[in-house]
A and B are shown apart, each in its own frame.
Chain A
């Protein structure tokens, strides 16, 4: 970590001495290097692991975390990690939800119907049909495959293949963006950066690798009629905090949030 910080400082000195264009290129190169490093060390969607393995990620005397992991272990049996590339919420949601749907036929038809309706909504906002339909068709063929007895292995294959997997993430981002814009009056209250909803969508929802916040989760779950519980594990407070999206739902999918990152949880 210390080494990383000092590199960062050197990077900053190096960057501040440069003309604009070289600066932009250097930033892009650095971001790409970081992404390549992360990509080399973790799969887009990992294997299902015993929840107790989380203990080893924190030192034994890190009591706030160890306490919360104990609590997690009582409620959940497994965890599945996703790559920390800024797309983790969307990827965890996409994979996790469809994995549950493999065995949950009741929720599946509702999900499929909602997913099918999203293209029309995007068209009503004047999105370009030519490119959006490419993402939509790929996404729907994945969703439809769940109804046609695809296996967990095939689903996993689709999500670890970078090209395909990112196509799904793009479309999920578009779904969230569309919902935010359709209900702009409501969502505007939650954007504290002074951006308009459209500006927020263009800079923080649609571009790949942009991290997600509550507002992304609320928009995506409400667009798809999905229900998600997020367990928040950070250094603050004594206990885990849970949020259900929407409130008072019976959650279909459970996610674990550690500052800046989402993984998938499996209830006992």
Chain B
């Protein structure tokens, strides 16, 4: 059945194929347009460089009036990412706008990787290391980058 949410997701999918944003990709899962798998490549010249991080995006029929739920499937070490992969990002919460689409969501998450907000930590250890011990922070990030190459996790 075609609903505004599903119609809009088809549009989002077409756009991400026709005009792919740099460093991110996403597609609906085989049987369900409401659930997408996505990949974010760690931005160059950042500790996340060379990482290929998997995410899962779940939409409701209220999309785009309400934001989807977005989670990292790959292990992530980042001040604004919770232990279960949930992401603390304003545009996915109180600053959501229906003018955002899948491309802009993924691009925003990609920017968040190198521009964390240690003031609203989702991972206290990451936030603290980011502020106080950048070398140790980067060492931990390097581990999740390496781990992200393993397709099993």
Chain A residues packing against B (C-beta within 8 Å): 20-21, 24, 127-128, 130-132, 134-135, 163-164, 166-167, 170, 174, 202-203, 206-208
Taking chain B's interface residues, is the majority helix, strand, or loop, or is none over half, making it mixed? loop
A116 to chain B, nearest CB (A): 19
Residues of A within 8 A of B62 (CB): 166
Q: Give A134 to B100 CA distance when docked, in angstroms.
A: 12
Find out whether the CB atom of B96 lies under 8 angstroms from the CB atom of A207: yes
Q: Give A207 to B98 CA distance when docked, in angstroms.
A: 7
Residues of A within 8 A of B93 (CB): 24
B95 at the interface (CB under 8 A from A): yes
Residues of A within 8 A of B15 (CB): 130
B35 to chain A, nearest CB (A): 19
Q: Give A164 to B3 CA distance when docked, in angstroms.
A: 9
Find out whether the CB atom of A207 lies under 8 angstroms from the CB atom of B11: no
B66 at the interface (CB under 8 A from A): yes
B94 at the interface (CB under 8 A from A): yes
Find out whether the CB atom of A208 lies under 8 angstroms from the CB atom of B99: no
B85-108 interface with A by 8 A CB criterion: 86, 88, 93-101, 104
Chain B residues packing against A (C-beta within 8 Å): 3-5, 8, 11, 15, 61-62, 64-66, 82, 84, 86, 88, 93-101, 104, 121-122
- Name B103's closest neighbour in chain A (CB-CB): A130
Residues of A within 8 A of B122 (CB): 20-21
Supplied contacts A163-B61, A203-B94, 12 more A-B pairs, CB within 8 Å: A20-B88, A21-B88, A24-B93, A128-B99, A130-B101, A131-B101, A164-B4, A166-B4, A166-B65, A174-B99, A206-B97, A206-B98
